[in-house]
């Protein structure tokens, strides 16, 4: 009874605040218009034709051999990548948490965990082709192998595994740290071997987390457009098939139906991952370890695991290093020496590099603070406020995480090319930089929101209530009390959005017009033409920009973040 009355009082207080009500209405409008509406249009386009309600488009696309083959290809790649990424990520996490590592190995792990964040999505595809392709350094010039091909299923699977396993590693590392070591030590005291302890104690506790990591990677894999486009060859996946259907066959209705199929798969996996496995993993691993863990010193365990993980980490780092090195080769595949800087020169003198970097930088820079602010506002409403639309705002803002970029791109084409509901309303944003900025915001919103929610849950409600009691309105409380306390999350969201935006390709490749030159589209274009040195030159400059942004964020957070002040106090 008291809880119901408190909730009712909270809602009345909220409705009496015009700033908060306006903010909520604007957020709901934005989320509905730019997330739900494009997805709804896809669904309507795929089932409603000139003669009314019909499933003829679905029937037609499922009769296409290349589409049904693309579905099986996509699921096959997703399962293989999910299994291998989870397994390698678990090994890395186990080595870091349970083994005593030297600083060199620890440094390798940190580099590997950061590289996918600051690098364009298909860097490893470029490296794989340059090292192991028909004109590859290792295959052709070291081993003299001429008839190999890295294109196809195994090329995609290896590249995606190396790209996504650091995500599993970071997820599982946190779960392993939360396992109470006394449970494992009790089993050891009863005579169990280390393998028995791992299989009978550690692994059962980790199973929900492993399932969570698998599904996250599975979703990332089947939604990936960049890597299959570069290294897939004739091995079509759903993301590339949708892109070719709309750009090659000009079949917008067919592309919409294909997008609905891909969206259905990712949404199903997202629901299972978000509302079942994630909750189960949280319930299984509760609280922090009661005391420090005794690290494994046994050489029979330590040496092979450390060697394996170090070898994988070094291989991944070498793959990333290949990109800047490849940018200095005179002619890729025929002449590697003497090294030259002509490709960097041509980037700016012949291929409009200045415009590409300027357009990408400005659009990403515009999207970053807006996304960071939106994320913090949504987080604040979800954690600190009670109102009827709260569940809608949280669910829809997180929904973008499950929507593949290609699907979103097709949805924006169908939804805004002729205006909202083909009325002409908002038609003016189609083909402009504004729609690209909106896509960047929508794609990065879930990441910033999750970070903000985690930070806000650590702030006691009484701190904000004190400001309200002193007469501050909701805007004043948010800007002067809440936002300074979550400064670290805000800065992190700012840089994460910038990096994700400037390296985005799957959604924007369908929406970008000749008016804008974007770096990722340029890299993709040169890679498809086989101009790998030029693609590497563009990618190298982009990596420098993104890494500098992350480095700057770390410096700013260190000197201005709340964590430092709390530590000093």
pTM for the model: 0.85
Of 215, 185, 214, whose CA–CA distance to 202 is shortest?
185
pLDDT digits (tens, 9 = 90+) for 370-389: 998 898 888 888 887 777 88
**Residue 82 — pLDDT band, cuts 50, 70, 90?**
very high
pLDDT digits (tens, 9 = 90+) for 424-475: 888 899 989 999 999 999 998 888 888 778 777 766 676 766 776 676 766 7
DSSP character string of 274-332: IIIIHHHHHHHS-S--SS----B--HHHHHHHHHHHHHHHHHHHHHHHHHHHHTT-SBT
> What distance in Å separates the CA atoms of residue 523 and residue 536, rounded to the nearest whole number?
8
Other Cβ atoms less than 10 A from the Cβ of 96: the count is: 20
Give strand pairing partners of 48: 53
pLDDT digits (tens, 9 = 90+) for 321-349: 888 888 888 876 666 677 888 899 999 98
> Which CATH number is 57-326 given?
1.10.3720.10
> What distance in Å separates the CA atoms of residue 92 and residue 102, rounded to the nearest whole number?
14
DSSP character string of 140-161: IIIS---S----SHHHHHHHHH
pLDDT digits (tens, 9 = 90+) for 465-519: 677 667 676 677 777 777 777 777 777 778 888 888 998 888 889 898 888 889 9
Map out the domains of the chain as residue ranges. Answer: 57-326, 342-569
**Residue 281 — pLDDT band, cuts 50, 70, 90?**
low
Give yes or no for residue 227 having a pLDDT over 70. yes
| Topology annotation, domain 342-569 | MetI-like fold (1.10.3720)
Give me Rg for the CA atoms of the chain.
25
pLDDT digits (tens, 9 = 90+) for 11-30: 666 666 677 788 888 999 99
Reduced to 3 states (helix: H, G, I; strand: E, B; else coil), residue 8 is helix
> What distance in Å separates the CA atoms of residue 416 and residue 422, rounded to the nearest whole number?
8
pLDDT value for 567: 43
pLDDT value for 96: 86
For residue 99, the 8-state DSSP code is B
Tokens 């919103």 correspond to 445
pLDDT value for 9: 58
Note whether 57-326 and 342-569 share their fold: yes
Please give the span between the terminal C-alpha atoms of the chain, in angstroms, as a whole number: 41
């Amino acid at each position: 009874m008291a809880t119901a009355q408190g909730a009712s009082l909270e809602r009345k207080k909220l409705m009496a605040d015009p700033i908060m009500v306006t903010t909520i209405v604007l957020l709901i409008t934005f989320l509905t218009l730019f997330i739900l509406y494009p997805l709804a249009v896809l669904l309507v386009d795929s089932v409603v034709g000139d003669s009314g309600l019909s499933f003829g488009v679905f029937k037609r696309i499922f009769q296409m051999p290349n589409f049904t083959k693309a579905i099986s290809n996509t699921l096959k790649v997703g399962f293989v990548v999910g299994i291998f990424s989870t397994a390698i990520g678990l090994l890395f996490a186990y080595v870091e948490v349970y083994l005593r590592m030297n600083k060199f190995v620890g440094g390798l792990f940190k580099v590997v965990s950061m590289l996918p964040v600051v690098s364009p999505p298909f860097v490893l595809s470029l490296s794989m082709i340059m090292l192991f392709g028909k004109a590859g350094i290792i295959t052709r010039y070291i081993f003299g192998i001429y008839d190999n091909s890295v294109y196809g299923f195994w090329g995609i699977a290896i590249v995606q595994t190396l790209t996504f396993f650091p995500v599993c590693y970071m997820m599982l590392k946190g779960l392993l740290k939360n396992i109470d070591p006394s449970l494992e030590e009790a089993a050891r005291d009863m005579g169990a071997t280390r393998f028995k302890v791992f299989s009978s104690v550690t692994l059962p506790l980790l199973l929900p987390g492993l399932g969570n990591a698998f599904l996250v990677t599975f979703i990332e894999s089947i939604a990936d457009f960049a890597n299959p486009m570069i290294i897939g060859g004739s091995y079509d996946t759903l993301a590339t098939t949708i892109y070719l259907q709309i750009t090659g066959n000009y079949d917008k209705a067919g592309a919409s139906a294909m997008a609905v199929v891909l969206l259905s798969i990712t949404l199903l996996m997202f629901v299972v991952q978000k509302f079942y496995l994630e909750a189960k993993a949280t319930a299984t691993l509760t609280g922090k370890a009661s005391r420090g863990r005794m690290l494994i010193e046994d050489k029979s365990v330590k040496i092979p695991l450390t060697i394996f993980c170090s070898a994988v980490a070094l291989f991944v780092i070498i793959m990333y290093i290949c990109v800047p090195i490849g940018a200095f080769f005179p002619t890729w595949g025929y002449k590697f020496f003497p090294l030259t800087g002509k490709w960097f020169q041509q980037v700016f003198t012949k291929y409009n590099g200045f415009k590409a970097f300027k357009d990408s930088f400005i659009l990403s820079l515009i999207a970053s603070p807006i996304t960071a602010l939106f994320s913090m506002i949504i987080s604040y409403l979800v954690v600190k406020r009670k109102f009827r639309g709260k569940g809608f705002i949280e669910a829809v803002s997180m929904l973008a995480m499950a929507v593949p970029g290609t699907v979103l791109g097709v949805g924006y084409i169908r939804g805004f090319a002729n205006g909202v509901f083909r009325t002409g309303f908002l038609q003016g944003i189609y083909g402009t930089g504004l729609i690209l900025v909106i896509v960047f915001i929508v794609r990065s919103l879930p990441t910033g929101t999750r970070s903000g929610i985690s930070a806000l849950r650590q702030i006691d409600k009484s701190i904000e209530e004190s400001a309200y009691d002193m007469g501050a309105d909701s805007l004043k409380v948010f800007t002067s009390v809440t936002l300074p306390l979550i400064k670290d999350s805000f800065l992190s969201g700012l840089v994460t959005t910038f990096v994700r935006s400037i390296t985005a390709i799957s959604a924007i490749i369908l929406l970008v017009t000749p008016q804008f030159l974007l770096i990722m589209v340029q890299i993709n274009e040169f890679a498809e033409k086989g101009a790998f040195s030029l693609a590497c030159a563009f990618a190298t400059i982009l990596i420098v920009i993104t890494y500098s942004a992350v480095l700057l964020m770390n410096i700013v957070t260190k000197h201005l973040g709340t964590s430092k002040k709390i530590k000093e106090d």
